[in-house]
């Protein structure tokens, strides 16, 4: 018999997916263990994965109505998947993370606990206790985030590249979705920028990036570096004016995961 859906969950957890059939079931199972005692809904926003990620999740959680699977066939891409998840969410807090075990599911409880102290809680690799399995990527990301993004945008956040965060839904609803949710991970720069503009308080908590247990990353590092840099310069040069996507960063069917 299906689990009754919580009328008003505390947390809406959004999982954008693309070709994560081998990871999605153990990830959701682990997330539910760490959310034990916290009323929640899990929204899996799948970009019509060829490996049938959505169908695997639907079969595994058919009797659990707190897990909702949505297959997206139009206007696909990471930021658009997150936006649709936000629009479908009902929780007092929205929590967003990757679906490949790169973002450690063990800290979701800590994000929820810290939500009592700030409007937005960000998982940070660059706080004491944070890090990455890949030391090369860790040092490159830290230099880019703290020597380029942070000085130009004037924000105190140390890990501007994370994308593992929890935010009060009422605060999020005040932000300009059309200006924020396009492109890939560069949307997170715009989210931080606009959240700060409406007075959101932010804190960071350590997170260690794990290696994905199966599958491969869909990220194209040169393309991401270009679109991220374009976004930061656009925010810096045109503060207070509409934001525009980096050329080629918002194409339909851009894979993510």
Give the span between the Cα atoms of 238 and 92, in whole angstroms.
32
Q: What is the pLDDT of residue 242?
A: 39
CB 131 within 8 A of CB 209: yes
CB 44 within 8 A of CB 67: yes
CB 130 within 8 A of CB 159: yes
Alpha helices in 89-220 (DSSP H): 108-114, 135-144, 150-153, 169-172, 177-180, 187-197
Q: DSSP per residue over 25-67, as a string?
A: HHHHHHHHHHTTTS-EEEEEEE---TT-HHHHHHHHTTTBTTE
Q: What is the pLDDT of residue 84?
A: 97
Q: What is the pLDDT of residue 156?
A: 86
Give the span between the Cα atoms of 37 and 9, in whole angstroms.
11
What domains lie within the chain, and their CATH numbers?
Answer: 11-237 (3.90.550.10)
Q: What is the pLDDT of residue 1?
A: 39
Residue found by looking up tokens 């991401």 in the block: 224
Q: What is the pLDDT of residue 49?
A: 96
Q: What is the pLDDT of residue 6?
A: 46
Q: What is the pLDDT of residues 121-176, one digit of tens each?
A: 999 999 999 999 888 989 999 999 999 999 898 888 999 998 999 999 999 999 99
Q: What is the pLDDT of residue 210?
A: 84
Q: Give the residues of the chain that fall short of pLDDT 50.
A: 1-3, 6, 240-255, 257
Q: What is the pLDDT of residues 187-204, one digit of tens each?
A: 999 999 999 999 999 999
């Amino acid at each position: 018999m299906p689990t009754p859906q919580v009328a008003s969950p505390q947390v809406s957890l959004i999982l954008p997916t693309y070709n994560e059939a081998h990871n999605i079931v153990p990830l959701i199972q682990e997330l539910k263990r760490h959310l034990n005692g916290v009323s929640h809904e899990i929204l899996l926003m799948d970009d019509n994965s060829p490996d049938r990620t959505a169908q695997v999740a639907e079969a595994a959680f058919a009797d659990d109505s707190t897990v909702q699977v949505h297959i997206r066939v139009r206007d696909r891409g990471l930021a658009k998947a997150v936006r649709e998840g936000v629009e479908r969410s009902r929780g007092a807090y929205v929590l967003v993370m990757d679906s490949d075990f790169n973002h450690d599911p063990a800290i979701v409880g800590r994000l929820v606990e810290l939500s009592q102290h700030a409007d937005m809680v960000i998982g940070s690799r660059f706080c004491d206790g944070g890090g990455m399995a890949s030391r090369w990527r860790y040092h490159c990301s830290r230099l880019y985030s703290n020597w380029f993004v942070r000085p130009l945008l004037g924000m105190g956040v140390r890990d501007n590249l994370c994308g593992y965060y929890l935010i009060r839904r009422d605060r999020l609803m005040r932000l300009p979705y059309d200006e924020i949710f396009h492109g890939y991970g560069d949307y997170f720069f715009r989210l931080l920028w606009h959240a700060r503009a409406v007075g959101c308080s932010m804190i960071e908590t350590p997170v260690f990036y794990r290696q994905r247990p199966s599958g491969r990353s869909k990220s194209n590092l040169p393309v991401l570096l270009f679109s991220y840099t374009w976004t930061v310069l656009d925010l810096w040069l045109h503060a207070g004016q509409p934001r525009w996507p980096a050329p080629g960063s918002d194409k339909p069917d851009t894979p993510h995961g």
